[in-house]
Structure 1
Amino acid sequence: MKAAVFAAGVRERLLSFEGLFLLIFLATIALRFYSLDVKLFHHDEAIHAWFSYRLLTEGTYTYDPMYHGPFLYYVTAGIFSLLGDSDLVGRLFPALLGTLLVPLVYPIYRLGYLDKKQTIVAALFLAVSPNMVYFSRFLRNDIFIAFFTMVLLVALLYYFERQKMQYALIAGAAIGFGMTAKENMPIIVLIFGAYLLYLIWTRKVRLPRRWIRDLVLGALVTIGIMAVFYSSFGAHPEVLMDGWLRAIEHWTSMHQAQRLGGPPYFYILLFLLYEVPILILAAIGVLQFVDIPGIISRWKGRRAGSTESPGEGEETEAEAETEEAQEIEAPPVGRRSGFKDRLREILSGSGELLPIDRQKEFARFAIFWMLLSLAVYAYLGEKVPWLILHQLLPMIFVAVYLMTTKKAVIAVMASVFLIVMTLHVVYTPTDINEPIVQVQNSEDLREVFAKIDAADKVAVATDSYWPLPWYYRGDRASKLAYYSEKVSEATIYGGNFDLVITHDADTYPTLEGYVKETYRLNYWFSYEENKNRLPEYYFLRDGKMGSRNLEVFSRVPTGTTA
């Protein structure tokens, strides 16, 4: 009897709002941290880890917009100093920030901008989204931006709710760290700032009495963080003068060159591949928010009223006006004023506030945020999969709008698709044919590493050698000689190399005394190879890959024949 009562109590606690949220958070931790080094570093991850390692061992770092902001390198170097340098350790901080996205939903709920069902489903989507999980286990800057975006959102909500300086300082810190992480943080700041101006102008929020002080202090925190990181803690103060200009010039040229280009609907295709339930629910959320049936009904009512008697028409119009007034209450007549008076009222923090539906207003903001993000990244010339995070984050909040019990059940059931895709793209220990990987280093390299480990002297006769500098760093680097191009056979024989590594596009037909083998260096989803069989690829995921390959020449031991 006691056991049954205990079990019922445990069940009740687990199925409570707090219990479900805790279970989702624990699942988030498991998905981010389990077998964190199951895959080799991506090409970019290896470069980021290598620069962090050099910062740790040599103390060298200067901002280069090609490799984004300094935050990643200093944080990763710090973690390397504490826990050692490895693939797993390099991914710990991204995994931590990706995990913390989920608990940051809770304070939004506490302020009343989400109800319990919305909070649970939003947390679930953040926890199991393939892109959220994949790029939380990925040493790139975008999960940092997603985290700082959420911190900024929560800080701003609390600042206008509580009107305390500490939240302005947190918001300033979130912007500062975001600005030192990647150059797309200004997009977030502009989107948030534009909506904040709308809220203030429409009397939905009021500036606190000491908002100027808070703005100045928050800005000082932002500028201070940026100055410290971009100057390499004072070692390169010149970067503060021209670093921002070089960043603009670099990314403008990248946008024009479209080095990694794609159509404007590139990210919609990724949503269809990996985030279908979220995409569909977000579309439904927008339609529910716009309330097209209600608009049509009111429009028909007005048309019908225009053909009726004046008394009947006036009644219909009055009813329509009453419905609209329930959504947005017009300011009192005595408060109507000119632009200058309204501006003076705003800056002084005076004036009456309009009552708002917090959940509906938060949905309005999320739709604004999502649509602008989709438009910006559709326009930008660089099309890379990790940028989907900055569109997916607001989309999740749009998807949970008006989360009825029926809709929540559908969302949970649809999450099975997200979980299956996550398990596939994250934990498959072999090369996967998915656009999400974007030039991932191949698992074939593990065999190449084994050959390098067994050799005493290795010639790398190609400029396609990443990620070798990362995997052979420190004392292990001494056995590798990097030529960065194909060299003469005399150089190979004169160097007495046990192993020779070349690119298959510029290699040797044969090398006397060596056996040649071909290995995949890195790979990517090939649209050209699969464009005539996209439905088949979508359901079977067995499309063809593009790849770059290495040719590895192993010296035949003396006394044997090749």
Structure 2
Amino acid sequence: MKAAVFAARFRERLLSFEGLFLLILLVTIALRFYSLDLKLFHHDEAIHAWFSYRLLTEGVYMYDPMYHGPFLYYVTAGIFSLLGDSDLVGRFFPALLGTLLVPLLYPIYRLGYLDKKQAIVAALFLAVSPNMVYFSRFLRNDIFIAFFTMVLLVALLYYFERQKAQYALIAGAAIGFGMSAKENMPIIVLIFGAYLLYLVWTQKVRLPKRWIRDLALGAFVAVGIMAVLYSSFGAHPEVLMDGWLRAIEHWTSMHQAQRLGGPPYIYILLFLLYEVPILILAVVGFLQFVDISGIVSRWRERRAGNAGSPGEGEETEAEATRMNAAPPVEPAQGFKDRLREILSGGGELRPIDRQKEFARFAIFWMLLSLAVYAYIGEKVPWLILHQLLPMIFVAAYMMTTKKAIVAVAASAFLIVMTFHVAFTPADINEPIVQVQNSEDLREVFAKIDAADRVAVATDSYWPLPWYYRGGSASKLAYYSEKVSEPTIYGGNFDLVITHDGDTYPTLDGYVKETYRLNYWFSYEENKDRVLEYYFLRDGKMGSRNLEVFSKVPAGTTA
């Protein structure tokens, strides 16, 4: 009897809102941290980790817009100093921030902007989304931006709810750290700022009495964080003068060059590949918000009413009453008076439906994000995070029990895709991958480990500097190009590594083998067979290959 009572209470607590939310959080943690070093570092991850390692061991760092803001390097160097430098530790901070996206939903729910079903479904989508999981296990800046975006959102909601300066300081810190992480944080700030102006002007929120002081404090915190990090804690104050200009010039040139280009709709294709349940439910949520069925019904009623309308010169009793009634008299209020009232924190607040207003904001945020990243010329898969985050909120709108069941069932697709892209211990032919280092390199590493002297005669050598750092770096000689054969023979190298585009036909006394260095999904080679690829996942990949020449031991023949 006691066992049955205990089981019943356990099920009741597990199936409660708090129990389900905690269960989703545990799933989130598992998907972010399990076997975090399963795959080799991506090309960019290796560079980011290497710069962080140099910052830790040599104290060397200076902002370069090509490699984004300083925040990643300082926090990664910090975690290296605490836990050691490795692939797993390098991905620890992205995994942590990717996990914290889920608990940040809870304060939004507590304020009433999400109901229980909406919060559970949004948490589930954040937990098992293939892109959210993949890029939470990835040492790049975009998951940092997603985290600081959520912190900023929560801070602003609480600031206008509680009207306390501490929330303005948190918002300022989120902006400062976000701006110090990557150059697309201003897009988020502008979107949030534009909607905030709308809310204030329409008197859906009221500016606190001391909003100017709070704005100044928040701005001071944001600018202070950026000044400290971008100047490398004062070591490079000159960056504060021209760093912002160099960032604009660099990313403008990247947009124009479209080095990693694609059509404006490429992110929609990625949503269809990996996030199709979220995309479909977001479309449904948008249609529910604009009330398409209501619009159609009113249009039909209007047509039916027009068909039976009175003839010319006739008027209905209601029309006569309306025309004879005196119009309501409202006191005229000029633009300056309205602006003065708003800025002083006065005026009468309009009542709002919090969930509907939050949905309106999420739709605004989603549509602008889709438009901005469709326009930007650099089309890389990790930028989908900044479009996916608001889309999840739109997908969770008006979450009825029936719709919630559909969402949970559809999450099976997300889970399958997540395990495919994040936990397949081999090269995968997926657009989510962009210049990923091949698992073939593990065989190359084994040869390097067995050698005493290695010549790297190519400029395509990343991620070798990361994987052979510290004491093991001395065995590698980097030439950055193919060198003459006498140089190779004179160096008495056990191993010679070249790029297959510029290599040696043969080297006397060496055996040649070819290994894939890195790979990527080729949109150009698959654009005419999109549907075929979608179902078969057999697209064509681009790759760069290494040719590895191993010295034949004396007394044997090649």
Partner of 1:154: 154
* Contact kept in structure 1, 2:454 and 2:494, CA below 8 Å: yes
Distance change >3 Å, CA 110–CA 460, structure 1 → 2: same
Deviation readout 1:3-37 (Å, 9 max, x if unpaired): 01101110110001100000000000000000000
Q: Name the counterpart of 1:452.
A: 448
CA offsets, 1:493-538, max 9 Å, x none?
0000000000000000000000000000000112243334433321
CA contact (8 A) 2:262 2:523 kept: no
The aligned counterpart of 1:16 is 16
Q: Which residue of 2 aligns with 1:308?
A: 309
Counterparts of 2:134 and 2:214, CA distance in 1: 37
SS of 1:282 mapped into structure 2: helix
Q: Structure 1 residues 476, 314: CA separation in 2 closer, same or farther (over 3 Å shift)?
A: farther
SS across alignment from 1:436: coil
Alignment check: 8 A CA contact 1:305 1:317 kept: no
Per the normalisation by structure 2, the TM-score is 0.96
Report the Cα distance in structure 2 between the residues aligned to 1:317 and 1:298, rounded to whole angstroms. Answer: 21
- The DSSP-based 3-state class of the residue aligned with 2:180 is helix
| Shift in CA distance, 304/495, structure 1 to aligned 2, threshold 3 Å | same
2:280 is paired with a residue of what secondary structure?
A: helix
Partner of 1:25: 25
Instruction: Tell me if structure 2 keeps the 8 A contact 1:172–1:221.
Output: yes
Q: 1:514 aligns with which of 510, 530, 541?
A: 510
> Closer, same or farther in 2 for the Cα pair 1:313/1:296, shift >3 Å?
farther
- Alignment equivalent of 2:342, drawn from 339, 342, 346: 346
Shift of 1:336: 4.7
2:296 is matched with 296
Shift of 1:295: 1.6
Q: CA deviation at 1:196?
A: 0.3
Residue number in structure 2 paired with 1:471: 467
Q: Structure 1 residues 317 and 525, CA, compared in 2 at 3 Å: closer, same or farther?
A: farther
Supply the AA of the counterpart residue of 1:554: S
**1:116 — aligned with what?**
116
Partner Cα distance (1:286, 1:132) in 2: 22
Shift in Å, 1:74: 0.3
CA shift, 1:337, in A, is 1.1
The match for 2:352 among 339, 356, 364 is 356
Q: 1:475 to 1:365 in 2, by over 3 A?
A: same
> In structure 2, what is the equivalent of residue 132 of structure 1?
132
CA distance in structure 2 between the aligned counterparts of 1:262 and 1:354, rounded to whole angstroms = 44
Change (3 A) 1:28 1:312: farther
Aligned to 1:231: 231
2:177 paired residue number: 177
Structure 2: runs of 5+ lacking an equivalent:
none
Q: Distance in 1 between matches of 2:130 and 2:321?
A: 50
19-28 or 520-529: which moved more? 520-529
- Matching residue of 1:168: 168
Contact 2:40 2:439 in 1 (8 A): yes
SS of residue matched to 1:466: coil
1:72–1:317: structure 2 CA closer, same or farther, 3 Å change rule?
A: farther
- Cα RMSD after superposing both structures: 1.5
Match of 1:286, as an amino acid? F
How many angstroms apart in 1 are the aligned matches of 2:147 and 2:406?
27
Q: What residue number does 2:208 align with? A: 208
Q: Percent identity, aligned pairs only? A: 88
The within-5 A match list for 1:261-410 is 261-306=261-306, 307-309=308-310, 310-311=315-316, 314=319, 334=330, 336-410=332-406
Pairs aligned (count): 549
Q: CA deviation at 1:541?
A: 1.7
Instruction: Give the drift of 1:333.
Output: 6.0
Specify the alignment match of 1:538 in structure 2: 534
CA displacement 1:383-435 (0-9 Å, x = unmatched): 00000000000000000111000000000000000000000000000000001
1:73 Cα deviation from its structure 2 partner: 0.2
Counterpart of 1:554?
Answer: 550
The alpha-carbon distance between structure 1 residues 336 and 448, as it changes in their structure 2 partners (threshold 3 A), is farther
Cα distance between partner residues in 2 of 1:351 and 1:531: 56
Q: Secondary structure at the match of 1:352?
A: coil
Instruction: Say which is worse superposed, 529-538 or 137-146, in terms of deviation.
Output: 529-538
Give the SS at the match of 2:446.
Answer: helix
Shift, 1:303, TM fit: 4.3
Residue 296 of structure 1, CA deviation = 2.5
The alpha-carbon deviation at position 334 of structure 1 amounts to 4.6
Q: Aligned partner of 2:551: which letter?
A: R
**Is the contact between residue 305 and residue 314 of structure 1 (CA under 8 Å) also seen in structure 2?**
no
Q: Which position in structure 2 is the counterpart of 1:329? A: none
CA contact (8 A) 1:520 1:547 kept: yes
Pair 1:66-2:44 in alignment: no
Q: Which amino acid aligns with 1:172?
A: G
Amino acid of the residue matched to residue 272 of structure 1? L
CA distance in 1, matches of 2:79, 2:347: 50
Per-residue CA deviations over 1:138-186 (Å, capped at 9, x if unaligned) read 0000000000000000000000000000000000000000000000000
Contact 1:206 1:353 (8 Å CA) reproduced = yes
> Is it true that 1:42 corresponds to 2:42 in the alignment?
yes
Q: TM-score when scaled to structure 1? A: 0.96
Q: For 2:377, what is the secondary structure of its paired residue? A: coil
Which residue of structure 2 aligns with residue 486 of structure 1? 482
For 1:346, give the aligned amino acid: I
Alpha-carbon spacing, 1:549–1:214, altered in 2? closer, same or farther (3 Å): same
Report if the CA contact (8 A) 1:301-1:316 is conserved: no
Contact 1:262-1:381 within 8 A present in 2 as well: yes
Summarize deviations over 1:189-240 as a string: whole Å, max 9, x none: 0000000000000010000011001000000000000000000000000100
Deviation of 1:55 after TM superposition, in Å, equals: 0.3
Provide the secondary structure at the position in 1 that maps to 2:316.
helix
Counterpart residue number, 1:86: 86
- Which amino acid in structure 2 is aligned with residue 40 of structure 1? L
Contact 1:305 1:313 in 2 (8 A): no
Residue 346 of structure 1 aligns to a residue whose secondary structure is: helix
Secondary structure class of the residue paired with 1:531:
helix
Taking the aligned partners of 1:475 and 1:6, their CA distance within structure 2 comes to 58
1:39-72 deviation per Cα after TM superposition (whole angstroms, max 9, x unaligned): 0000000000000000000001000000000000
